[in-house]
Amino acid sequence: MTSKTTYRHTVQISEIDFSLRATIVSMIGYILDIAGADADKKGFGIKKLGSENRSWVISRMALDLYRLPNRYETVEIATWVNDYGRLLTTRNFTAADENGSSILAAVTQWAMIDLSTRRPLDLRYVDEYNRHLCIEQTPINNPIKIAAINSQETIVHKITYSDIDFNRHVNSLRYFMLMIDTLPIEFLSNTNPVHIEVNFLHEAQYGDTLTAGYEQRGTKSLFEIKNSSGTVICRASIEWKAETTWKN
Amino acid sequence: MTSKTTYRHTVQISEIDFSLRATIVSMIGYILDIAGADADKKGFGIKKLGSENRSWVISRMALDLYRLPNRYETVEIATWVNDYGRLLTTRNFTAADENGSSILAAVTQWAMIDLSTRRPLDLRYVDEYNRHLCIEQTPINNPIKIAAINSQETIVHKITYSDIDFNRHVNSLRYFMLMIDTLPIEFLSNTNPVHIEVNFLHEAQYGDTLTAGYEQRGTKSLFEIKNSSGTVICRASIEWKAETTWKN
């Protein structure tokens, strides 16, 4: 049993866009980096797993982004693991600005894979969890399954060195970057809250070619990435909320 | 007159590659972020310039990378501005690990542009410099001019939202990422020191298509990026040194 752990991050210039606010991709990047650092700190991160030929891969994410922080703003991000089953463990996040106002809330689900077989392991036998669970409920609903889409716009991208991560597969952030890039750029000037769902379905490898598709359904932008064999690698949705109480 | 300023950075998981060390691109990213943060801290950064419709753009960089730090290693980066002329100002960097051993040394040259005309301004009339120059010599030789190359390999990339920065032009890091991606991937497993030179020649804009070319000449990898009109946007070289005293 443990409590939430907090991390602080100051928004850097490389993380902002022309609106001078952190990009959505940067915010997801903070979450993924903190997930990794926190797992390592508690003894079940890739530092330990790597020596045992195991690693973590993210399966699903649900994220409420209430606002995007400005350059040089410092956000405090809390994280905790509150559940695990046979295949997936749940890591939660909340973040607040220096006034204590909420910036985001997120629920992520992860699988542990054997790096030789690339197959998931049974988490019920990973002892480190017993002493690191934090019995605090998830801050928003669990991630949901996203259905297939009818792409209106597509981007084709060949996977290069800069796309792959320590696991030798495509960095999860890159999928999201590719999907965001299919959007009309005006959408990214939006200052309203967004709700994001991501399903990571298959790994993509160096040298493969990805096609990212986009469909707009009302207030929801839907995304799907396929590899050159037509296998769906990743699906996501961004729901653009109607209004915000936040002002930048 | 002032002294060097230091910043600390801990290598995050998103910044490493399959060698479990920070990527070359991440290291350049630290330098660029610190350049921006330090200029803002001292009153001549984009925070002030933005309100005056001016901004900084990088012109040239020379970088000695003695080794790439490992994940979670903390590096301390010192920076100082020691010179400026009509068109360019010189910002220097050195970085050391927690044992005090050198990680890198760099010299960067920057121009200040008017955001309406996109033309450079005369730096001799920017008062803030007088009190922020640090009379310490540059740690390595100034950046040099890089000649045209004969591309053996090319990558074509259409500029998307994720490529552009706060200045609404392509993020300098993206050019470097694109060039690195033309290399045989085995080069990126290299643990020897490298010497890097970059010339940023023209801005590239959202929607344009870039072609990155690569030529190997002995121990030097040479790179060139052109836009769809054939204008050279950026040239760079990486010299792979023969041996290293560093072991990871």
CB B226 within 8 A of CB B233: yes
Residues of chain B contacting A165 with CB distance shorter than 8 Å: 13-14, 16-18
Share in percent of chain B as helix, strand, coil (round to 5): 20, 40, 40
Chain-centroid distance, C-alpha B125: 25
Rounded to the nearest 10 degrees, what angle do helices B172-180 and B24-41 cross at? Answer: 170
Residue A118 pLDDT: 86
3-state class (DSSP) for residue B180? helix
Residue B183 pLDDT: 94
CB A134 within 8 A of CB A2: yes
Which run of H or of E encompasses A172? Answer: helix A172-180
User: Is the alpha carbon torsion for A131, A132, A138, A141 positive or negative?
Assistant: negative
Same fold across B1-140 and B144-248? yes
Residue indicated by tokens 């052109």: B226
Residue B128 pLDDT: 67
- Whether A155 contacts chain B with CB within 8 A: yes
| pLDDT (tens digit per residue) in A12-45 | 999 999 999 999 999 999 999 999 999 999 888 8
Using CA atoms in the order B211, B212, B217, B220, what is the torsion angle rounded to 10 degrees? 160
With CA atoms as reference, report the closest residue to A230 among A168, A148, A161: A148
Burial classification of residue A212, based on how many CB atoms lie within 10 Å of its CB (0-12 exposed, 13-18 middle, 19 or more buried): buried
Closest chain B residue to the Cα of A174, Cα to Cα: B162
- Spell out the per-residue pLDDT of chain B, length 248, in tens: 688 999 999 999 999 999 999 999 999 999 999 999 999 998 888 888 888 888 899 999 999 999 999 999 999 999 999 988 899 999 999 999 999 999 999 999 999 999 899 899 888 877 766 677 888 999 999 999 999 999 998 999 999 999 998 888 899 999 999 999 999 999 998 888 999 999 999 999 999 999 999 999 999 999 999 999 999 999 999 999 976 544 33
Q: Which fold has domain A1-142?
A: Thiol Ester Dehydrase; Chain A (3.10.129)
- Whether B12 contacts chain A with CB within 8 A: yes
| Contact check, Cβ <8 Å, B33/A18 | no
CATH classification of A144-248 is 3.10.129.10, yes or no?
A: yes
Residues of chain A contacting B167 with CB distance shorter than 8 Å: 18
Put simply, whether the predicted model's pTM sits higher than 0.95 gets the answer no
Nearest by CB to A161, from B29, B40, B188: name it: B188
Average pLDDT, chain A: 92
CATH fourth-level superfamily of B1-140: Hotdog Thioesterase (3.10.129.10)
Residues of chain B contacting A29 with CB distance shorter than 8 Å: 14
Residue indicated by tokens 């990973």: A126
Q: In sequence order, which ranges of B145-220 are alpha helices (DSSP H)?
A: 172-180
Domain segments of chain A as ranges: 1-142, 144-248
